[in-house]
Copies of this chain bind each other. A is one copy, B any other.
Amino acid sequence: MLQVGVNGYGTIGKRVADAVRAQPDMTIAGVTKTSPDFAAEGARTAGYPLYACDEESVDEFHAAGLAVDGTVGDMVDASDVVVDATPGGVGAEYRPLYEARDTPAVFQGAEAPDVAETSFNARANFDDARDADYVRVVSCNTTGLSRLLAPLAETYGIEKVRTTLVRRGGDPTQSDRGPINDILPDPVEVPSHHGPDVQTIFPDLSIDTLGLTVPATLMHLHSVNVTLESTPDSRDVCDLLDAESRLFVVPERSGIGSCGQLREYARDAGRPRGDVWENCVWGESITVEERDFYCFQAIHQEADVVPENVDALRAMFDMADAEESVARTNAALGLERDGDARPDPRVAADD
């Protein structure tokens, strides 16, 4: 049983902790929090060993009536591996602490790629993380693009990718962020950092990305163009994508036309926190014009990297190959086609 510590029990950390605990071959050794807020209470309620980020904050936890089992160093000592889910840039500051304790770690995509030996996406480059000590799970947007591009590249070949990422302004908890009633080129420069980040997974890929930010908190939405090296039929591409376990091809008959409806669908299905772990690709948008593939896909920024963190752990400890790890993760989360309530889009395609 792999003992996993989660440093930073925030938006990603708490979701990864729950996903790890759901697996048959790993468990949570502890989680850290910087302050005794509602998330810290939630960690206690969930039964996770709780650690303060440093000695100074231990008293703060005790004053709030929350017992802690020590500080982050103690948690690392109790762990076989750490999932670092601290804010972007903070993970790199923690790496020396992990190294000093000879403990491998998984970092998140907001860290620079050089924080780790390799960047990781379960569908695209699982084996690159095998036996690595430090692995970076790429960001939500890069994860979403990697899952979509891997089958396209393998089956049809990719000449060039051009994608516009319509980014949510912040998560629902981030009330201090904007924009309100505005649309911002973000960044104004072309390409955005997303293209180079995808190249950490597909080093030889030609990709240009543009980013902009809008007043929404639910999901990102990608407008994707891929110039293929062949000219498949749109229906065949739809079937190809639908066969991917972490791509949900949204069927026309579902009546789902927005991110809000996707999230409601996940809540109706009983998903924890209403999370959408899969890319959501609108079936009607899957179009091939000559060699140009187009689609819209929505990416739940709080959720899609969660199963990837689990798979990264298995790769690092050589606990399974890619196919087996993904199947095990999906089964434990209830992410399989047969294990959840989502309809089969190919039925709609035949209507």
A residues with CB within 8 A of B: 160, 162, 164, 166, 168, 179, 181-185, 188-191, 208, 210, 212, 214-221, 223, 225, 257-260, 282, 284-285, 287, 289, 292, 294-296, 298
Chain B residue contacts of A220, Cβ below 8 A: 183
Bound-complex Cα distance A295 to B185 (A): 10
Copies of the chain in the assembly: 2
Task: With A189-B284, A223-B223 given, name 7 new contacts (CB 8 A).
Answer: A162-B292, A181-B260, A183-B258, A183-B259, A184-B259, A188-B284, A188-B285
Contact A223 B208 (CB under 8 A): no
Contact B182 A260 (CB under 8 A): yes
Of listed A162, A182, A189, A258, residue having the most chain B CB within 10 A: A182
Contact A190 B285 (CB under 8 A): yes
Contact B162 A225 (CB under 8 A): yes
Bound-complex Cα distance A210 to B285 (A): 9
Contact A295 B257 (CB under 8 A): no
Contact B292 A185 (CB under 8 A): no
Contact A223 B164 (CB under 8 A): yes
Bound-complex Cα distance A208 to B289 (A): 9
Given A190-B287, A216-B215, the answer on whether A208 and B166 have CB atoms closer than 8 Å is no
Q: Which residue of B210, B217, B218 contacts A223 across the interface (Cβ within 8 Å)?
A: B210
Q: Which residue of B168, B258, B294 contacts A179 across the interface (Cβ within 8 Å)?
A: B258
Chain B, residue nearest A294 (CB): B190
Can you offer 17 A-B residue contacts whose CB atoms are under 8 A?
Answer: A164-B223, A181-B215, A181-B218, A182-B218, A182-B259, A183-B219, A183-B258, A185-B296, A188-B285, A189-B284, A189-B285, A208-B289, A208-B294, A210-B294, A212-B296, A214-B216, A215-B215
Given A225-B162, A282-B188, the answer on whether A182 and B216 have CB atoms closer than 8 Å is yes
Bound-complex Cα distance A298 to B184 (A): 10
Given A185-B285, A189-B284, A296-B185, the answer on whether A212 and B217 have CB atoms closer than 8 Å is no
Q: Closest CB of chain B to A217's CB: distance in Å?
A: 6
Chain B, residue nearest A165 (CB): B223
Contact A214 B183 (CB under 8 A): yes
Chain B residue contacts of A217, Cβ below 8 A: 181
Q: Closest CB of chain B to A240's CB: distance in Å?
A: 17
Contact A258 B184 (CB under 8 A): yes
Instruction: In the A-B complex, list the 9 residue pairs whose CB atoms are closest, starting with the nearest.
Output: A164-B223, A190-B287, A214-B214, A164-B164, A185-B296, A183-B221, A190-B294, A188-B284, A184-B258
Contact B258 A296 (CB under 8 A): no
Chain B, residue nearest A225 (CB): B162
Bound-complex Cα distance A257 to B185 (A): 7
Bound-complex Cα distance A127 to B335 (A): 59
Chain B, residue nearest A168 (CB): B183
Chain B residue contacts of A215, Cβ below 8 A: 181, 214-216
Contact B258 A182 (CB under 8 A): yes
Chain B residue contacts of A190, Cβ below 8 A: 285, 287, 294-296
Q: Closest CB of chain B to A165's CB: distance in Å?
A: 9
Chain B residue contacts of A285, Cβ below 8 A: 185, 188-190, 210
